[in-house]
Amino acid sequence: MAQAIQNIIIVGGGTAGWLTAGILAAEHNADNGKLSPSPKLNITLIESPDVPTIGVGEGTWPSMRTTLKNIGISETEFLLSCDASFKQGSRFINWTHAQKASGNSTEHYLHPFSLPIGTNELDLCPHWLAHRDQVSFADAVGQQNQLSQLSLAPKQITTGEYQFQNNYGYHLNAGKFSQLLQKHCTEKLGVTHIQDHVCTIHKSKNGDISHLSTKQSGELSADFFVDCTGVKSLLLGEQLNVPFICQKSVLFNDSALAVQVPYPNNDTEIASCTHSTAQSNGWIWDIGLPTRRGVGHVYSSSHTDQAQAEKQLVEYLKPTINIDADNLEIRKLSIAPGHRQVCWKNNCMAIGMASGFIEPLEASALALVEWSANTLAQQLPANRQVMDIVSARVNKRFSQHWQQIIEFLKLHYVLSKRTDSDYWHDHRESCSIPESLQQQLELWRTQAPNKHDIQHTDVLFPAASFQFVLYGMAFQTMLPSQLKPSQQNRAQQLFTENIKRTQGLKQLLPTNRELLAKIAQYGLPKI
């Protein structure tokens, strides 16, 4: 039981597997992407050569910049290798009301990646409430709503790698990202790569996984196993029998149609935020990469069928593509909304879809992969004897993260005033809304969300995220009864400063496409 943890096997590749391998190796075996002379861990990734990457185009959070930097990957190399572009948040279109058939006007708001100006000093939200009829919350406290509408980049060509004028994540080609991570992990970080089929998973008497039987490589043993086998969850779910907690009664979407579409012209602007456009029984994501768009319709099969969902997807695409919509290669994806009861049992931790997946709204999937892999890397127990102590702590945080993700995603649907289908009506039924979210909404009618509403640390969504969604969807909160004059004066200064900064950045920043073209020509400055 006191044997040191020295050998780790990751089962499954893709983004989750290779990110985990890179994060583990960078934490224990490398310094700034360079392998140390005496690695502490032997890390092996085994994946089936027959499992394709879904590759619909993915969005990341700003945390990915830190992850890539820590792994030792150049931002210039990443952007050019992964067909990546800059993402400054998510824009929600027609979520509050359905678009009227008679007009072209749309409702929209942005959940940006930059926190409100002056966050560490003052919460501006209560001070904005009195001005909500004159200016949107996003425009009052930040610049990214206006900048993203102009498809502007978050930085300049002279800005160093991973540095910024405005906080950003990425849109990327998931297949190419996995290939880059694989190359970097095997060539720079000492990760062993085996392409083989796992035939049998063996357990020891204490319930731990002891070794794997493979088709060509024989038996592979390890002290610790990471399950990155996707929704099959071969190790944690099937072998260790960790229950799956279905969340379809809260978040209904269980299907998606995905398609890759070309730009009508080579100089078409690249969107600098994910577009999420509500439909009668779901929503459509639209992710802009340098060479194409990744688009998909997420929907509930209990409220509509595939034919109707495909019709809506094609209608959405028609105004912006120059090809015959009948020639589009649309792929059907199934979603099992939910998560495992725990992510870590015995000597196995599941990361990525093996631990759970709800839907791509707010792009939390890769962020959870990063959190899980970093948590394992930083809290990896010294030996088996103390492993259960660490796993209990990690599982508690895992449950807290899922609760917040589910409630935050549900918030988007609960706030909608759409009446065009049972789908939106059913989302607002109290029986489908977690009780804790109902309580928060009651509280937020009397006061704006603040840090005291967040019950634990290391959260995925801070109070500001709830503010952006609530007030982007016209939620009504009572005006505060009293604000300190000194704080009011400072708030006004920050509002004025934000206006000046917004105007300045509009003049200063290039478009996404302009910046990516310059990066291809010159590269970004090394830090």
Give the pLDDT confidence of 177-225 residue by residue, as tens digits: 999 999 999 999 999 999 999 999 999 999 999 999 999 999 999 999 9
User: What's residue 58's pLDDT?
Assistant: 87
Beta bridge partners of residue 256, listed in sequence order: 298, 333
Read out DSSP for 311-365? HHHHHHHGGG-SS-GGG---EEEE---EEES-SEETTEEE-GGGTEE--SGGGHH
Per-residue pLDDT averaged across 148-159, rounded? 97
CA distance 222 to 354: 19
- Listed by start position, the domains of the chain span 7-84+170-246+339-402, 89-121+139-164+249-336+492-506
What proportion of the chain, given as a percentage, has pLDDT over 90?
88
Give the pLDDT confidence of 271-314 residue by residue, as tens digits: 999 999 999 999 999 999 999 999 999 999 999 999 999 999 99
**Average pLDDT value over all residues in the chain:** 94
Span of 30-39, 330-339, 384-393 with lowest mean pLDDT: 30-39
User: What's residue 260's pLDDT?
Assistant: 92
Helix (H, G, I), strand (E, B) or coil at 424: helix
Is the pLDDT confidence value at 390 over 80?
yes
Give the pLDDT confidence of 443-482 residue by residue, as tens digits: 999 999 999 998 788 899 999 999 999 999 999 999 998 8
Span of 51-55, 78-82, 371-375 with lowest mean pLDDT: 51-55
Encoding tokens for residue 419? 């009446």
User: What's residue 117's pLDDT?
Assistant: 97
What proportion of the chain, given as a percentage, has pLDDT over 70?
97
Task: Give whole-number Cα distances, 73 to 57, 120, 197, 209, 411, in Å.
Answer: 20, 30, 29, 33, 36
Task: Give whole-number Cα distances, 413 to 316, 333, 429, in Å.
Answer: 20, 22, 11
User: What's residue 1's pLDDT?
Assistant: 52
Q: CATH fold of 7-84+170-246+339-402, please? A: FAD/NAD(P)-binding domain (3.50.50)
Classify residue 257 by burial, with Cβ atoms within 10 Å: 0-12, 13-18, 19+. buried
Is the pLDDT confidence value at 102 over 60?
no
Is the pLDDT confidence value at 104 over 80?
no
User: What's residue 5's pLDDT?
Assistant: 94
Read out DSSP for 206-224? TS-EEEEEESSS-EEE-SE
Is the pLDDT confidence value at 103 over 60?
no
Q: Confidence class of residue 55 from pLDDT cuts 50, 70 and 90?
A: low
Q: Confidence class of residue 57 from pLDDT cuts 50, 70 and 90?
A: low
User: What's residue 326's pLDDT?
Assistant: 74
Q: How many Cα neighbours within 13 Å face the side chain of 382?
A: 2
Is the pLDDT confidence value at 31 over 90?
no
Instruction: Give the β-pairing of 219-221 and 89-93.
Output: unpaired
**For the chain, what's the residue count?**
527
User: What's residue 273's pLDDT?
Assistant: 97
